[in-house]
Structure formats: C-alpha cells, structure tokens
A and B are shown apart, each in its own frame.
Chain A
Amino acid sequence: MASEPATAVELAEEQRLVEEAQQGNLDAMRPLLERYAQPLYGTVILPRLGDAASAEEVLRDTLATAVEKIRRFTWQGKTIYPWLRQIAINKVYDVHRQSKRSRKLADAMVHEVALESDPESHADAQLMADQERRAHRERIDETMQGLQERYRLAIELRLIQELPREDCAQRLGVTIGTFDVLLFRAVRAFRKQFGERAGLPGTGEP
C-alpha cells in the first residue's frame, strides 16, 4: 500500500515503468501492481463488495485488465492509480449487476461513487485512498447514527472492536442469545438505512 504521498522521484519511476510496459515489457507493471493492490482492495473494492473472496477476484481482474490495456493509458504527469481505481470500480459494477441479491446495497455504492470519482482532481494515490477511506467511514458513521442506540452498540462492539460475543453480551447486560438477536437486527437495520441514506426510494421494500 502506498503509505506516503508519491515523491517526484517515485512519479518519474512510475512513468518509466509505464512507458516500458507500453513498449511491450508487460512485466514492468509488476512493481506498480504490487504498490497499488492494497489500496485498491482495501479502499475501493472490498468496501463496495463486502465479500473478501469476490474482492480478491475483482482485484485480480482489475490488475489483469490494467496490464492488457496499458497501451491505452496516457501519462499526464500523475500517478496511474486513478486509472486503476476506475477499472476496479467498473469491475465492481459488473459484479453487482450480476448479483441481484445485493443490488440495493450496490446501488447505494454506485450513487456514492459517481460523486467522488474525479481522477483529475487528485494527483496522488495515497491522498486518494485516504480521502476515499474517510468518505466511506463518514457514510458508515452517518448510517450508524440513524440506528437505535443498542443496535449501534452491537455493531460497534462486535464488528468494529471485534470483541467476542460473550464480552459484547456482558457489556450490554444481556444473554448471548439476546445479543445475537440484537446484532442480527442491527445489521438488518443498517442495511436498510444504508440504502435509504443514498436517496433510493423504496429501499427495503420487496
């Protein structure tokens, strides 16, 4: 993962690798793929899919497509990351289109992506990844604020702090069985709320 903003030297190196790949040495893409695989997975793909196995597949397809189409990429003095990110988002769309079960959740994601996807306004991969992570978190936190207090606590303790069920139940002063019900309802409520916050009419209706 790109841990720091790209320096001019890193950018020059990135340009050299891209040009080398465009001249036919596709293996030159390897350092770039290794650098951007983590931010693509952690901030672009997984938060939009919610399934680690699918996210890994989408990441692989994204990187493969980038290598196949590298000749079409035009270097504009900026990192290749926005281009990779756009490929990844398109792949996520494809997965959601094929999967009707999560369509409403996906629609919520699509709505958000259209607002934030402006590659021209970002020059650095890490800045983009940070911004995207913040945007996701704000959206999750806003949705959490709309939940009942006990549902919010159930999600906070179990999914964010990742405490064992027993500890979660103890903190809330309920039995484990009751905590299971609380978490179950909390996630259902979150799911409904998440879609509704994106302005999708009729979310949660059959």
Chain B
Amino acid sequence: MATQDDDTLTGVVPDADIEPTPAELAHARRFAELVDKTLAGRTPPAMSADDRALLEVATVIRATHGSLELAPSRQRAVVEDALRQAIGASAAGPGAVTPIARARRWQRAPWLVAATTTLVAAAAVLMLWLRPPGSGGHAHIAPVPEEWTSRPTDALVGPIAREHAGDASTRIDTIFADRLDGFRARRLARGARP
C-alpha cells in the first residue's frame, strides 16, 4: 500500500515491507536529515508542521531515555533570565549577566554619593559661618633673615658694562658665593640640620 505525503500524521502507517512511493521516500530522507541535525544539537528552526510533530515524538523518546539534559551554561542563563523577568530588572545582554543581589546593592550608589556630597558641602558652609571674627585674612608669617629668602641678584651684580658682558662666570661665582653664605647661615641657625 502506498502512502500519500499529506497523510503523514493522520494516515495509516504502512507495514515495514511495503515499497514506499517516491514522495514518501523523499519525505523520509528529509526527516532523516532533520533527525541527524537534531541529534547533533542543530535543530533547524524552520520545518513543516508535520515534520515538527514527528520530531517532537523523537525528542520525547530521547528525553525519556535520559539522553537530553540542559547544559549547565544554559541552565544558569535560564535561571538568570527567570529572576530578571520576575524581578523586573532592565534587560541586559546574555553575555553581561549581573547577579541580581549585586545589582541591587549598586542601585543605591548614586544616592549615597549625592547624600555624602551634600553633607560635606553643608559642613563647609557651617564652618565658614561659625568661625570667629578676625580669624580670616592672611596667616601670620614669622620674619626670617633676608639671606634665607628668594631675592633678586641686581644688588650683587649691578649694571653690566658692555665690556664685561662676556664675563658671566664671575657674576655666577659672585651669586653662588652669596647664596652659599645664606645657606650656611640658615644651616647654622638650625643646629646643623639641613
């Protein structure tokens, strides 16, 4: 008895030894290739409704015999998606899954930063307002000998005559000697500490 291709799901299934029609042969080959791909974990997304129905049966048989399990990575992704879906967090890409507990902790970070900044600013304003009168202005600076300070060298060198313009070494030696004096004085004043 030959079968018709449109009877795949509802028609009578012929005995094993009955010759197939060319249509059945072609359909059987197509289904065998689908099974091949499914066993390799590459189930095609598009197929006829009849093929899908038969493939479901094949999968039920395989699942019942324990040969189908959810990969650990897929399982983690499904759990993460489910939690995200349930909690209503904003959707993120599957590669950028953030554990929800950590995400929730970080949700408060902007508010913490804002509150801390406001408190510091308020404290600064309060200190300015409460400080004793007259405490502002310049800080008191203790007088120091002139040779300790930075100062111009005009007094040492004086105007440079044109004929002495090339004699820079002498001028440098003069300045160096003067500054060395200042350094010695300062050093001796501190009890030989640098």
Contacts and interface: CB of A to CB of B under 8 A. Distances in A.
Interface string B51-78: 0111111111111111111100011101
B63 A187 contact: no
A37 B74 CA distance: 10
From A34, A48, A63, A184, name the one whose CB has the most chain B CB atoms within 10 angstroms: A184
Contacts of B67: 160, 162
Contacts, number: 179
Interface stretch (A5-13, A72-80, A118-126, A175-183): A175-183
Query: Chain A interface: which size bin?
Result: 35 or more
A186 B92 CA distance: 44
A63 B103 CA distance: 20
A53 B74 CA distance: 11
B27 interface: yes
A65 B75 CA distance: 16
B64 A64 contact: no
A67 B86 contact: yes
B25 A181 contact: yes
B160 interface: no
A173 interface: no
Contacts of B57: 50, 105, 187, 190-191, 194
Interface residues of B, number: 55
A53 B90 CA distance: 23
Interface stretch (B11-19, B119-127, B181-189): B11-19
Nearest to B74: A56
Given A49-B56, A187-B57, A42 B70 contact: yes
A205 B7 CA distance: 10
B101 interface: yes
B64 to A, nearest CB: 4
Contact of B83 (A27, A140, A184, A188): A27
Contacts of A105: 53, 56-57, 60
5 contacts: A101-B49, A150-B16, A160-B67, A177-B29, A188-B9
Given A37-B75, A42-B69, A64-B81, 5 more contacts: A47-B63, A48-B60, A53-B43, A56-B74, A102-B56
